[in-house]
Amino acid sequence: MHPVVAGLRGDVRYAAPLSEFTSFRIGGPADVLVQPADLDDLCRLVRQGRRARVPLFVLGGTNVLVRDGGIAGVVMILARLDRAQEEPEAVVYGEAGIGMPRLMQFAARRGLSGLEWAAGIPGTLGGCVVMNAGTKLGDMSRAVKAVRMVSPAGRITDHPVSDLEFRYRRSRLPRGIVAGAWLQLASGSPERITQSVKDYLRYRKETQPLTQPNAGCVFKNPGPQTAGGLIEQAGLKGCRVGDAEVSTKHANFIVNRGQAKAADVTALIAKVKRTVKARTGLALDLELTVIGAR
């Protein structure tokens, strides 16, 4: 047994293929994959990782491209930290591993409004805080009241929103791992909230390639123009490298047609960037996080 996982109560796997855990269905193996049983287990893992000088990476899996060589070190999946609880004054606390769809349902059932904009975002609450996930209707920064972190020393610390900085699809948080977040919502009608979520989900189904494996938007919007619009105007819809394809439905999505490798996706990304730059002079920046060895 690797010393980094000694005494953990959660699930531990070795040489685990990360393609099973990413929405892209792409990714080489993690040396060690851990699903901590709870917050204590997570703190222990962080402390032991630091002692053993092993790199730790949190994977939600819906906005990342894991390269084909996989990840040397420990990959953590927080799926078992998935509780939500209602607190006074329309506040909800969610653990970092709860999926946004479940958290939205939790809030809607209690008549708590403020997350409808996130309908269709499949990430975990922790990943959505880190990325300041958002849509044209809103983003995470508008809801977060405070976050609970596990510091690099493995201690639990709580931080009010005034300690945090949110920008377009990124955040500046204290160092460490997001363990949970308090969200300030507002009371509303459960029926109305559920209806807005349904309407927005329908719109997303019509405009995004949700039936094919993908990792959400690949590029950030470089200003008033959307990345998708620029890629479409450059004639790149349907462009392929191997089984990686610029979606014919939404040009800022790359889909995996079946057997795509990370190398295919990175080659396609490079081609899109080159072509858009040559046509418009604009440089596209990645929204997607690319990790792992080639």
Binding site for ligand FAD (CB under 6 A): 23, 57-64, 78, 96, 120-124, 126-128, 130-131, 133-135, 177-178, 210, 214-216, 289
The string of DSSP codes covering 65-94 is EE-TT-EEEEEE--TT---EEEETTTEEEE
Beta carbon of residue 210, minimum distance to ligand FAD (angstroms, whole number): 6
CB of 7 to ligand FAD, least distance (A): 22
d(CA 96, CA 124): 6
Residue with Cβ nearer ligand FAD (232 or 280): 232
Q: Smallest gap, in angstroms, from Cβ of residue 126 to ligand FAD?
A: 2
Of 170 and 274, nearer to ligand FAD (C-beta) is 170
Nearest to ligand FAD of 172, 274 (CB atom):
172
Q: Identify whether the C-beta of residue 28 lies closer than 8 Å to the C-beta of residue 52.
A: no
Shortest Å, Cβ 96 to ligand FAD: 4
Residue closest to 39 by CA, chosen among 126, 162, 144: 126
Shortest spacing between CB 284 and ligand FAD, in angstroms: 16
Whichever of 39 and 274 has its CB closer to ligand FAD, that residue is: 39
When the beta carbons of 11 and 82 are compared against ligand FAD, the nearer one is 82
Report the residue closest to ligand FAD, judged by CB.
60
| Nearest alpha carbon to residue 106 among 94, 121, 120 | 94
Pairing of strands 29-35, 71-76: parallel
Q: Which residues in 77-172 belong to E strands, given as ranges?
A: 84-87, 91-95, 112-113, 134-135, 138-139, 144-150, 156-160, 165-167, 170-172
Gyration radius of the chain over CA positions? 19
Nearer to ligand FAD, 194 or 289 (CB): 289
Residue 245 CA: distances (Å) to CA of 25, 26, 172, 238, 261: 14, 14, 32, 6, 11
Nearest-approach distance from CB 144 to ligand FAD, in angstroms: 13
